[in-house]
Amino acid sequence: MNDETKEKLENKEKAISEETSIEDADFNVVGEQDSNEKKEDVALDDFADTQKVEETPKEAETVAPQETKEEEGINVYKEEETVAAKEEAVAAEELRDKKGRVIGVKYAYPNQKLEDIEKSRAKFYSYYKKQNTIKWLVTGICLLIIIIGWIVPNYIPYFATEPGNAYTIWMVLGITVVAVIVLAVYSILMKRKLNAALSNYFQSYYEDNDAFVFGDLVTDKRGSVDDKLQESLFNGANLYKDVIKVGSRNCIEFKYRGRLCVFADAAAQIKGPKALQTVFLGKFFTISNDYNGPDFLIYRKGNKRALPPTTLDRYPLFEDSKLMVIYGPKEIKRYLTKEVRDALNAFQTNATLVDVSISVRAGRTYVALGYEDDLMVMPLEKPFNPNPTLQHQEDMKKVFNFVDALDFAISRRKH
């Protein structure tokens, strides 16, 4: 991989631009990565602001309302300082060379859709490397022609005397201009081909990913990786204050038990002192409901890298425990049935699932699943790790279980 592309791979991303571009920072890392891994993953430019989120990864500055809650004795984080790594469902097999040195990893994919994701990644990355090699060859040939154009006339007698020497500089300039034009035209054509290949990779990735995560749980699915989440819908959750930018990708609609749902990868940002500040990064889900009571929020706590809702000061505290905090008036107790609590307790925040924020409002339920980079970053150089996606599949089953339990509690109060 060339130095220019490596440099662009190392620029973190997380919010919004209009189009995908291989040369213009399209291999940007979502979130915080170790420096030796930054170049190995790919994410859409339009998912987050490439320059400004770099200063504010998941360890975003704590906002004032959050500080107020902690001063009042309410801790919105898990008591432990860090979250232990979860046990991986699929172990990575190390690949070694003849000298026993680890040269890579290999996964045994438990589902055909997960295997198809890896095939798409490998196909695109192979094509990218091939095109990159050709680009360097074309660049080298053009430079060689320019050098030859400067040297050869010195060995031709005609160009060493009048009137030939008067044409030397024009000939050299002509060769240089032609070589530069050829290189520029080729670069543009290659960039278009790579952009098309990248778009195909993104499309196939999300088609296989969504098919695996949702399976036959949902119906009437529509949407694609290019579709965006409406900011009004995200802000309708009333989870985060003063959001000025919502980056998103793969905004899809589907039905669950006849109810319309919207689901998307999303990154929300507010205006910070010096740059945009991330307040959410993960998967955003919303579904219609029949609830007509007062608003309430439920937050499953994460570690210090979590990003709790910033609107907690707008609600009275209902309940606080080691793993969960609930905000809302006393009358919400009737909806927090044993089934609802069991569904909430099923969520386990860990090294992949950072936290879970739930907003229940009249007519709509919102769930914001905060995730780490191992899920939110698409693979490029390294093989696709299925474990975060397996985790996400289980998390969505828990989301649907919560929706079912809450719907039952709402319907029971009506009768």
374 and 257 in a single domain? The answer is yes
Between 104 and 24, name the one with better pLDDT.
Answer: 104
- Its pTM stands at 0.78
How does pLDDT run across 282-302, given as a tens digit for each residue? Answer: 999 999 999 999 999 999 999
338 and 202 in a single domain? The answer is no
Between 11 and 146, name the one with better pLDDT.
Answer: 146
Q: Among 48-57, 105-114, 355-364, which range has the highest average pLDDT?
A: 355-364
Residue 157 pLDDT class (50, 70, 90 cuts): confident
The domain boundary, picked from 151, 182, 214, lies at: 214
249 and 288 in a single domain? The answer is yes
176 and 200 in a single domain? The answer is yes
Residue 174 pLDDT class (50, 70, 90 cuts): confident
Q: What is the mean pLDDT of residues 304-329?
A: 94
Look at the chain and count its residues.
Answer: 415
The domain boundary, picked from 156, 181, 214, lies at: 214
102 and 129 in a single domain? The answer is no
Give the pLDDT score at 88.
66
> Beta strand pairing status for 29-30 and 41-42?
unpaired
Give the pLDDT score at 58.
42
Return d(Cα 167, Cα 225) in angstroms, integer.
56
Longest Cα–Cα distance in the chain: 106
Classify the C-alpha dihedral 341-397-252-43 as positive or negative.
positive
Give the pLDDT score at 1.
47
229 and 184 in a single domain? The answer is no
Give the pLDDT score at 78.
72
280 and 317 in a single domain? The answer is yes
Give the number of domains in the chain.
2
55 and 7 in a single domain? The answer is yes
140 and 101 in a single domain? The answer is no
65 and 97 in a single domain? The answer is yes
Range of the domain at 262: 1-82+91-106+219-415
326 and 397 in a single domain? The answer is yes
